[in-house]
Amino acid sequence: MVFAARPKTLPAAIVPVWAGCVLAWKLTGEFDWLIAWSTLLGAVFIQIATNFFNDAIDSRKGADTERRLGPVRVTASGMMTARMVNGLAVGFLGLAFLCGVILYQARGWPVIAIGLPSLFLAYGYTGGPFPLAYRGMGEVFVVLFFGLVAVCGTVFMQTGEWPREGLLLGGQIGLLSAVLISINNLRDREEDGTTGKRTLAVRFGPKVAVAVIWLEIKVAAFVGLAWVAFDQPALALAGAPVFLLGMRIIWGVLTLPPSRFNRLLAMSALQLILFAAVFHVAATLK
């Protein structure tokens, strides 16, 4: 079960809520713990459900084969049945729904507007009539939902408002989260090409895939300079880990074989966490 939940991917769900709560506190000086925990747990539960659905659906579609370079998938390996994995996914969506009830009582209909698409896309990312992961839209999905929607939604839950600062922070976090999926897809490009998974790396080749990773990291780092225009110059410090680790990640995807990309994935997750940690510290500065 732990393998299918993919705990190493959870920073992509935790960081947007963490940073969004910090930004909301920075802007208003107020913080609601119940709303924060409900938002965080809802995001984590949706992420886990997405991972479970992904495990079962990829196995059914033949996308996880013996050529896989990434971690073991429980359905394809026979550790769990697809029915069990799908059942767990539905269960975690149910837990996310309960968190949404608390948030709805606090903020009303916008929670439905955010929550329903998020719940559906936990399945629709790899399943349904238009699976985003199989159509080369994984990066767009991540930037939108793990960046802009997650961060702006978190700020709204705390403040009841939609400040423009949320868009900037959401864009940075969305791009850094997309680095994870881009490296994953570049690593699995050859396998995906034989199983009908038309990711960007499959559609346009490794050179374009590397360029996308370069762009995601560089834009996330340099767009942070806009915090100066928002009269929050200290928050631009959050880009420091991106400059440092980002260069190493870019060098890695240019020089290392795909069999060693799991290390780069770990570095990308660390980059995301360090971004949030420095952002948090910077927000406490006057």
Smallest CA-to-CA distance from 237 within 171, 283, 269, 286 is with: 283
* 209 to 33, 52, 184, 206, 262: CA distances (angstroms): 40, 26, 10, 5, 16
Q: What is the pLDDT of residue 91?
A: 95
Q: Which residues contact 198 (CB under 8 A, 6 or more apart)?
A: 134, 135, 136, 192
CA 261, CA 140: separation in Å to the nearest integer?
A: 21
Q: What is the pLDDT of residue 72?
A: 62
Q: What is the pLDDT of residue 3?
A: 54
Q: What is the largest CA-CA distance in the chain?
A: 54
Ranges of residues in the chain whose predicted pLDDT is under 50: none
Q: Are 102 and 38 in contact (CB under 8 A)?
A: yes
Radius of gyration over every alpha carbon of the chain, rounded to an integer in angstroms: 18
Smallest CA-to-CA distance from 120 within 97, 146, 152, 153 is with: 97
In this predicted model, what pLDDT tens digit does every residue of 100-151 receive, in sequence order? 999 999 999 999 999 999 989 888 888 777 788 888 888 999 999 999 999 9
Q: What is the pLDDT of residue 270?
A: 95
Residue linked to tokens 């870019």? 250
Q: What is the pLDDT of residue 73?
A: 66
Q: What is the pLDDT of residue 64?
A: 53
CA 76, CA 243: separation in Å to the nearest integer?
A: 38
CA 246, CA 250: separation in Å to the nearest integer?
A: 6
Q: What is the pLDDT of residue 46?
A: 95
Q: What is the pLDDT of residue 195?
A: 74
